[in-house]
Structure 1
Amino acid sequence: MSAVLRTVNRVLIGLIGLVLLVLGGSVLAVGLGVRPPSWWIHDGRHDVLLSAAERTRWRDEGWWWPTVLAVLAVVVLLALWWLTAVLRRRRLAEVLVDTGDGEGALLRGRALEGVLAGEANRLEGVAHAHVRLTGARTAPRSRVQLELEPHVDPGTALHHLTTESLTHARNSAGLATFPAEVHLKALKHRAERVS
């Protein structure tokens, strides 16, 4: 998750929580008999938030219901966007490398992704490799997508990826384990006319 999205997420959650806390606390306090200030949205224990006159005030206006439905649709779409952004698999921003002195160092996740993808691209028969890091910075996981040339045996390509590229990345970062989810895809060549 990017820093901007993480900040927006925290601010929205904080604001929504604060609004709900203030409204819920005020309803509870007024319900228990606390006298609210004169400017507050309801006056006493038996007061309702919307009176019958307020609920039916705009009923005869032609623009009212389309506007209400449009606003609710926008709120639902924004909530769905927010939910998918939060639940989406997150790209790992940094990996904590054990330096052996008890301190550790931070390695940029994109740098490790780039090096791992570069090594995987150099493997025999690999046309293209894409790597994405997920998990925690102390226990990263990798998602590797390999596009293989048509003549390559997938088992051999997976073996080379595991024993060379992934092992080298695990050892370089000083990780005890480096789980990987590997997706293999055969590259298809278009038929060409030979004359």
Structure 2
Amino acid sequence: MLRGVNRTLLGLAGLVLICGGGALLAAGLGVGVPSWWPWRGPDDVLLADSTRARWHDQGWWWPAVIAALAVVVILALVWLLAQLRRRRLGEVLVDTGDGEGAALRGRALEEVVAGEAGSVDGVARARVRLTGRRTAPAARVHLLLEPHASPEEALSRLSDGALAHARQSAGLDRLPAEARLRAVRHGPRRVV
């Protein structure tokens, strides 16, 4: 979802900047602009003195400007932090039964699940990524299937094998998973 929001915001910002810059460039070069356009030619200014000083002596003007700029800065910082947030789970909290718990590296669990899923007959390659929270992880599994593989069998072995073993070894009540299957590209067979 974040990727879609990023693309939409960047697309809208780019569109506004290109349209505004192109219109200002056209007015600055003296190219014909529509009659409703506020700037007519190269000698016109963006903000006249009367426009700039209109709200200057009002008591609410500067606090409103500062508040609006602060909101823009806060939204930009939130967006930046969302970009820097790690999408991969760093560790999984394992309940050891003594009340303390242990931390299991997320990459280690990913590699073990990917190795076990990749060893299933018909699976050419498996990639696993853990997401979610430390106490409630979720798995995203990408399986690359050989041409002779049965998707149903690969999924059942993934859920009954690799994911079940990971859930049991980490002491998790549940390990929801999203599996994406793709077939290996192969050339046509030649009949002799």
Separation in 2, partners of 1:154, 1:124: 11
Cα pair distance change 1:48/1:183, threshold 3 Å: closer
> Counterpart of 1:82?
80
> Counterpart of 2:137?
140
Does the alignment pair 1:152 with 2:149?
yes
Q: What secondary structure is seen at the aligned counterpart in 1 of 2:182? A: strand
Counterpart AA for 1:92: L
Q: CA deviation at 1:190?
A: 2.2
Cα pair distance change 1:95/1:194, threshold 3 Å: same
* Unmatched segments (≥5 aa) in structure 1: 1-43, 50-74
Equivalent residue runs for 1:113-128 within 5 Å:
113-128=110-125
> Counterpart of 1:171?
168
* Unmatched segments (≥5 aa) in structure 2: 1-56, 63-72
> Counterpart of 1:190?
187
Tell me if the contact between 1:133 and 1:140 (Cα under 8 Å) persists in the aligned partners.
Answer: yes
TM-score, normalisation: structure 2: 0.57
Deviations 1:19-61 (A, max 9, x none): xxxxxxxxxxxxxxxxxxxxxxxxx975965xxxxxxxxxxxx
Does the alignment pair 1:93 with 2:90?
yes
Q: CA deviation at 1:193?
A: 6.2
Counterpart AA for 1:181: E
Q: CA deviation at 1:79?
A: 7.0
Aligned residues with identical type, % of pairs: 58
TM-score, normalisation: structure 1: 0.56
Count residues with an aligned counterpart: 125
Q: CA deviation at 1:192?
A: 6.5
Q: What secondary structure is seen at the aligned counterpart in 1 of 2:178? A: strand
> Counterpart of 1:70?
none
Q: What secondary structure is seen at the aligned counterpart in 1 of 2:97? A: coil
Counterpart AA for 2:130: L
Separation in 2, partners of 1:47, 1:124: 71
RMSD between superposed Cα atoms in Å: 3.0
Counterpart AA for 2:140: R
Q: What secondary structure is seen at the aligned counterpart in 2 of 1:162? A: helix
Tell me if the contact between 1:89 and 1:134 (Cα under 8 Å) persists in the aligned partners.
Answer: no
Cα pair distance change 1:101/1:85, threshold 3 Å: same
Q: CA deviation at 1:85?
A: 1.2
Deviations 1:4-26 (A, max 9, x none): xxxxxxxxxxxxxxxxxxxxxxx
Where does structure 1 differ by over 2 angstroms across 4 or more consecutive aligned residues? 44-49, 78-84, 190-195
Q: CA deviation at 1:83?
A: 6.7
Deviations 1:53-74 (A, max 9, x none): xxxxxxxxxxxxxxxxxxxxxx
